[in-house]
Structure 1
Amino acid sequence: MSELQKQIPTLYGVLSVNTCAIAATHSGYAPGIVTMGFPAFAVSISLLRAVHWLRLRPETMTEAEAIRQLLLTTVMTGVLSLVSLAWAMVLHGYGGPYEQAHVVIFIAVTVIASINCLTHLPVAAFLVTGIVMSTLILICLTSGNAVFVAIAVNITFVTMAMVRVLSNNYRAFVALVASEATATRLSEDNAKLALTDSLTGLPNRRHFFQDLEDLTVTVGGRGGIFALAIFDLDQFKPINDTYGHTAGDHVLAEAGRRLAAFADDKVMVARLGGDEFGVLLHDPGDPEEAIRFCNAICETLQQPIAWGGLWLTGGCSGGLAKFPRAGREPATLFDRADYALYHSKLYCRGETTLFSQEHEDAIRVERAVETALRSVDLDAEMRIHYQPILDTETGRITLVEALARWMSPTLGQVPPDRFIAAAERCGMIHHVTLLLLRKALADCALLPPDVGLSFNLSAHDLASPETVAAIVGAVRKSGIDPRRMTLELTETALLRDFDQAKEAIVALRALGIKIALDDFGTGYSSLGYVHRLPLDKIKIDRSFIAAMDSDVGGSVIATILNLCENLGLDGIAEGVETEGQMAAIRRHGCRLVQGYLVGKPMPLAELLAGLPRAEPHLLRA
């Protein structure tokens, strides 16, 4: 249609000019109705049809509409050909040989123009050629005039040649259109593949953010609302590590299938990468309704998944942010939903958290902490407190845990969990770790030789070979016996990159440094790490100590301590705060104890003053 739209108006223009020209040459010979009436009618029709074609919009036409236009054009071509031929035959009876020759030329030129302009509609072109040329050739051959006979012969061969050229051009045009259609289809397929996650079949991250940007423009333009939700499978990595990538891929594919069931014209779902999925709610309703919808997704993704005779349960948590309250920019809105997801994982696993003003205030505080971390003299403002660990058999302090403290001149006292998390986010954790480690090693030189030093490492530290090498260098440079050092690791640190963590642990133990697994029992994979890693100590999480009065709690403590004894590991009970807990933990055979009953975290001077005393309660701050 687009190609015909360029040619058919030209054809009507040629027809109009030729009609006016031949009418002018016969004006003195034929009646006025023939030389004036018909040309006016023909030119009017031609102009109307030309304007009609110029106003068409092929790109918006359906296939049925295009077929109707082509049929109408073919019929109009046949009718105009017959009428024009009849008129030309009438004119042929007037005038002299020149005028008659002009009629022949008019017919031949008009047909040639039709063939050229109707290349992409060969049915109409052949119709014109068959009607007009056959009649013209017949008239010339039967005229008895040798010149007209010669003209008929010439026209016959020229027509045959032009018909052949027309056929070849149309076949080439059809092949070109077919190749373009194939290329378009392949391009569309490639575009679809580029926007589709190959494992789950869901839209991918690129597609998700394209839709998110479109929504912020369209919905923001009309003052509407929509919501963005992010979902994360809580225990996907342990499943992947324990059962392999095949099981992990199966879990992701099944999660994608379940999530796709929630998609409709108002809900777009996508896989963002790893075990993270995104959802765009075009009509989220009120906050409670949006949270109920997202919690339904969490419940669906939490259902066990069958694989190889096993039932794998990954769990799912979500974060939800609404436009425009949580942000007007795509990146801001996504970050807010991600923050809400992080909150869910920390405080309400298995549920969806809606980003609120409280979270916005927390982000401002975190940004203030990050800014302060970059602009202050950390070496002067950070110090270390030490919490003693008691050997209940000897009544002596055998180990002290170094705990960071930061008094900011602008923010005041900043809790360790807050500034450590901020340092991890802004990439300063390695600097903070090495700064605190050097301070702790310097203080360790002032401790009695039989008192060891325990120091906590971040997950980011263990995942960085450069930081591990710097830790080894700092210990060697301090002159402290590495065997007095214990580095505490959390399950989070091991989850980040297990192979790198294992390599780091082997390097540290080769120096003589001991390794302790902190907060044992709070994660889902702690037991798996105990037999896979070269550990020296296990710190029993304080939550078990608080519940040890119950039968189940006491059994858990006994089980953990038996595990330590069987594996040749030291068990350390954290969070012992009462005499009753102390007595109970000793009955279970735990030798090393840490908690407020033994001593609160304190500056080095206070610790040194209390160390010579025999009774542990004298160490309490």
Structure 2
Amino acid sequence: MDKKGKLGEFWSAAAGWTDLLKVPNDNPALTAAQFEAFSKQVPLLYFILATNMISLSWTHHGSAPDYLVVYLPAVLTTLFTLRSLIWLRGRNLQRTPQQAYRQLRATNILSFPIAVFCTGWSISLLPYGDAYQQAHVAFFMAITVIGCIFCLMHLRSAALIVTVTVNLPFFVVMCLSGEPTFIATGVNVILVTMAMIMILVSHYRDFRQLHESRNVLMLQQQALQEQNKAMQALSDENLRLANLDSLTLLANRRSFFQMLDTAFGRASAAGDKLAVGVIDLDGFKPVNDLYGHSAGDKVLVEIGNRLSTIEDQRLSVYRLGGDEFGLLLQGEVSEADATALGEKVCELIAERINIGSGMVQVTGSVGFALYPDVGETGQEIYELADYALYTAKRHHRAGTVIFNAVQANELNRQKVVEEALVAADLEKELSLVFQPITCVNRRICIGLEALARWQSPRIGQVSPAEFIPVAEHNGRITLITRLLLERALDVARLWPDEVYLSFNLSPHDLSSPENTLKIVSIVLKSGFDPRRINFEITETAVMHDFEQASASIQMLRELGAGISLDDFGTGYSSLNHVHKLPLTKIKIDGSFVRNIHTRRTSFNIVKSVLALCAEMELEAIVEGVETEEELRILENLGVRAVQGYYFGKPMVAAETVKLLAAQSAQALAS
């Protein structure tokens, strides 16, 4: 190896040794941990220096000059005390790795002059005093360097600096003294400090490895925590989505019933109140049918946003599905509070909505039930609120209905009717009556509407207004329709050919091709001329499923039967639907006829519908005519056919035959 290679190795080795005397800064986290451990031992280091110095000064007092045993120790002790206080005050302060490195480096630099001063001071006391005092100097240097090495174990570079700075002069002085005891002491201290340095290096290496292992463990723990956090976040998100309506971003039906059970349990335990509301949109289906489902979605989103703006900490809003929303009002809730909330909800819903391609408007009906006034479970309170909503819809009034005693009686009666209807022998208990439809100009009966009657042996005479909705609910309505249609056709065969049969169909009869085909089969089997049949359908039947209802109506029209839209003006269908359906007649509801001579609004509505019928070439039949005044006004408006008590109440089959026979005889006589 040439001289340059050997020189390079020398400088590399020298650089390696000098690195031992520097504070490492390659690992900021290790530096911070090193500082934290070291800061707890620095005050002890200064305590050892101060107490040893005071002890040595005290034993040499009177033997050595005052500047060596009084003034200089006083200055150094004061300095050590101040440094201790500084470290004690700053031990709880959080420092960055850079700040920790700077303070460790400053301590490392300061260790050399302190070691030089303490070593020089102790050596300067050797010439003074007797052998005991000189032995005390040797003890001072040995115990001080050992104590400093222990206190500086977390700052390896400073410990090495102190060791070299103190031990080399100490060993030289001990050997030059010529005293065997001092020479042995010097050798002993050198050997002990070398062993301690080895322990120090090993401790520092273990400290570094322990810190690295701790960091790895902390990183693994942090990664595990992050993983758990991510899993928890995913679980929370899944739970949130499971309880969230994806369209309106309101809490969904599942969340509603969970919260309802919780709120009911809280209210029943604490004696609090609870209001449950159910909202249904009126006129929403036409928006879907006219503008498409995307427009319907925009309406639902906007309604959800509007309901969310209601400021009431007691209120929570939910989307239950379709165009139905739920409300929970907790705390001190009165009937007035529920009514006010319902009115607010209806006002917000009724505001026009921009769907992009135009403006649309829907309205809302709200049903409320209040606990503890009614209900024994959360589910029962909801069902009662839903019944209150049904009451609002049944009476065709947008607004708020609160479940009350009247509805409770209706509901109880409905349950009684349902039980009786399920057990009924329909063939024996059902019957028909017929109400005349009269030509105004000729004052003759041109048709008769078949009306269902039920005489129950258990509960007596039951109104169609009671048992028809129940039959629709429990699924017996299609059976009732077929049974009564067969009987009506049997009766109608006894009538003159110019008199037609008007027969009501349920929404269920139009809900599927199969049900409609059974109606067609009954007509064909009867042998009755289909052109003499006028099937009456309600707006509700049409709006339930417009496409299917339209297909069923077309099937009946192809049979030859006429189609009347019953109770026109009381439902929520649009004129566009009327234009699309193959109708032959429109029946104007009797609610517009009562007091038409005094109610200008009713007069204008009837006049407008008559104009619509004329435009569409449809026959108009006005229901509910009961007085001469009503008939006269309708006659002046151009009404050609009416139905009502003024011309005839519902009658049994035999009476219809007599009526029509008398009418035929009168026609022949004239």
Q: Same fold (TM over 0.5)?
A: yes
Q: What CA distance in whole angstroms lies between the structure 2 residues aligned with 1:414 and 1:466?
A: 29
Q: Which residue of 566, 588, 597 corresponds with 2:615?
A: 566
Alpha-carbon RMSD across the aligned residues, in angstroms, is: 3.9
* Counterpart check, 1:192 vs 2:240: yes
**Structure 2 CA distance for partners of 1:381 and 1:237, relative to 1, 3 Å:** same
* Counterpart check, 1:222 vs 2:270: yes
Residues 181-233 of structure 1: per-residue CA shift (max 9 Å, x gap): 12222222222222222333322222221111111112211222211112222
Structure 1 equivalent of residue 137 of structure 2: none
Deviation at 1:514, TM superposition (A): 1.5
Structure 1 equivalent of residue 467 of structure 2: 419
Structure 1 equivalent of residue 182 of structure 2: none
* Counterpart check, 1:275 vs 2:323: yes
Q: What CA distance in whole angstroms lies between the structure 2 residues aligned with 1:150 and 1:526?
A: 98
Residues 40-73 of structure 1: per-residue CA shift (max 9 Å, x gap): xxxxxxxxxxxxxxxxxxxxxxxxxxxxxxx9xx
**Structure 2 CA distance for partners of 1:77 and 1:500, relative to 1, 3 Å:** farther
Structure 1 equivalent of residue 496 of structure 2: 448
Q: What CA distance in whole angstroms lies between the structure 2 residues aligned with 1:358 and 1:466?
A: 39
Q: What CA distance in whole angstroms lies between the structure 2 residues aligned with 1:299 and 1:131?
A: 79
Structure 2 equivalent of residue 599 of structure 1: 648
**Structure 2 CA distance for partners of 1:306 and 1:213, relative to 1, 3 Å:** same
Deviation at 1:333, TM superposition (A): 0.6
Moved >6 Å (runs of 4+)? 74-80, 132-135, 144-160, 615-618
Q: What CA distance in whole angstroms lies between the structure 1 residues aligned with 2:605 and 2:198?
A: 114
Q: Which residue of 404, 429, 433 corresponds with 2:452?
A: 404
**Structure 2 CA distance for partners of 1:352 and 1:561, relative to 1, 3 Å:** closer
Structure 1 equivalent of residue 658 of structure 2: 609
Residues 120-151 of structure 1: per-residue CA shift (max 9 Å, x gap): xxx9xxxx9x958979x999x98679999999
The normalised TM-score by structure 1 is 0.72
Give the partner amino acid of 1:406.
Answer: W
Moved more, 160-169 or 175-184: 160-169
Q: Which residue of 161, 176, 195 corresponds with 2:224?
A: 176
Deviation at 1:364, TM superposition (A): 0.8
Deviation at 1:585, TM superposition (A): 3.3
CA contact (8 A) 1:537 1:572 kept: yes
CA contact (8 A) 1:390 1:616 kept: no
Q: What CA distance in whole angstroms lies between the structure 1 residues aligned with 2:251 and 2:441?
A: 62
* Counterpart check, 1:512 vs 2:560: yes
Bigger radius of gyration: 2
Residues 313-351 of structure 1: per-residue CA shift (max 9 Å, x gap): 322221111123211212101001111122223347343
Q: Which residue of 289, 313, 317 corresponds with 2:337?
A: 289
Report the secondary structure of 1:322's partner residue. Answer: strand
Q: Which residue of 634, 637, 660 corresponds with 1:588?
A: 637
Residues 461-482 of structure 1: per-residue CA shift (max 9 Å, x gap): 2123332122112212222222
Give the partner amino acid of 1:261.
Answer: T
Q: What CA distance in whole angstroms lies between the structure 1 residues aligned with 2:404 and 2:464?
A: 24
Alignment of 1:191-270 (within 5 A): 191-270=239-318
Moved more, 214-223 or 607-616: 607-616
Report the secondary structure of 2:521's partner residue. Answer: helix
Give the partner amino acid of 1:543.
Answer: S
* Counterpart check, 1:464 vs 2:512: yes
Residues 361-407 of structure 1: per-residue CA shift (max 9 Å, x gap): 11110001011111010110000001122234555433211100001
* Counterpart check, 1:367 vs 2:385: no
Give the partner amino acid of 2:288.
Answer: N
Q: What CA distance in whole angstroms lies between the structure 1 residues aligned with 2:502 and 2:475?
A: 24
* Counterpart check, 1:488 vs 2:545: no
CA contact (8 A) 1:226 1:281 kept: yes
Report the secondary structure of 1:614's partner residue. Answer: helix
- Of all paired residues, the percent bearing the same amino acid is 39
Report the secondary structure of 1:488's partner residue. Answer: strand
Q: Which runs of 5+ in 1 are unaligned?
A: 1-70, 84-122
Deviation at 1:297, TM superposition (A): 2.6
Report the secondary structure of 1:611's partner residue. Answer: helix
**Structure 2 CA distance for partners of 1:394 and 1:295, relative to 1, 3 Å:** closer
CA contact (8 A) 1:598 1:616 kept: no
Deviation at 1:489, TM superposition (A): 0.6
Alignment of 1:321-340 (within 5 A): 321-340=369-388
Report the secondary structure of 2:661's partner residue. Answer: coil
**Structure 2 CA distance for partners of 1:543 and 1:219, relative to 1, 3 Å:** closer
Moved more, 366-375 or 421-430: 421-430
CA contact (8 A) 1:284 1:290 kept: no
Moved more, 226-235 or 345-354: 345-354
CA contact (8 A) 1:573 1:594 kept: yes
CA contact (8 A) 1:599 1:617 kept: no
Deviation at 1:311, TM superposition (A): 4.5
Aligned residues: 508
Give the partner amino acid of 1:443.
Answer: V
Q: What CA distance in whole angstroms lies between the structure 2 residues aligned with 1:481 and 1:449?
A: 9
CA contact (8 A) 2:250 2:319 kept: yes
Report the secondary structure of 1:229's partner residue. Answer: strand
Report the secondary structure of 2:578's partner residue. Answer: helix
CA contact (8 A) 2:153 2:203 kept: no
Deviation at 1:612, TM superposition (A): 1.8
* Counterpart check, 1:475 vs 2:523: yes
Q: What CA distance in whole angstroms lies between the structure 1 residues aligned with 2:338 and 2:570?
A: 31
Deviation at 1:154, TM superposition (A): 8.2
Q: Which residue of 546, 549, 565 corresponds with 1:498?
A: 546
Moved more, 369-378 or 203-212: 203-212
**Structure 2 CA distance for partners of 1:480 and 1:179, relative to 1, 3 Å:** same
Structure 1 equivalent of residue 579 of structure 2: 531
**Structure 2 CA distance for partners of 1:566 and 1:254, relative to 1, 3 Å:** closer
Structure 2 equivalent of residue 57 of structure 1: none
The normalised TM-score by structure 2 is 0.67
Q: What CA distance in whole angstroms lies between the structure 2 residues aligned with 1:533 and 1:131?
A: 98
Q: What CA distance in whole angstroms lies between the structure 2 residues aligned with 1:316 and 1:143?
A: 98
Q: What CA distance in whole angstroms lies between the structure 2 residues aligned with 1:142 and 1:592?
A: 131
Q: Which runs of 5+ in 2 are unaligned?
A: 1-31, 45-96, 98-149, 164-188
Q: What CA distance in whole angstroms lies between the structure 2 residues aligned with 1:571 and 1:519?
A: 11
Report the secondary structure of 1:518's partner residue. Answer: strand
Residues 276-327 of structure 1: per-residue CA shift (max 9 Å, x gap): 2222111243322332233233223323334448553322221111123211
CA contact (8 A) 1:599 1:616 kept: no
Residues 417-453 of structure 1: per-residue CA shift (max 9 Å, x gap): 1100111122222222222222222222333333221
CA contact (8 A) 2:503 2:536 kept: yes
Report the secondary structure of 1:327's partner residue. Answer: coil
**Structure 2 CA distance for partners of 1:582 and 1:146, relative to 1, 3 Å:** closer
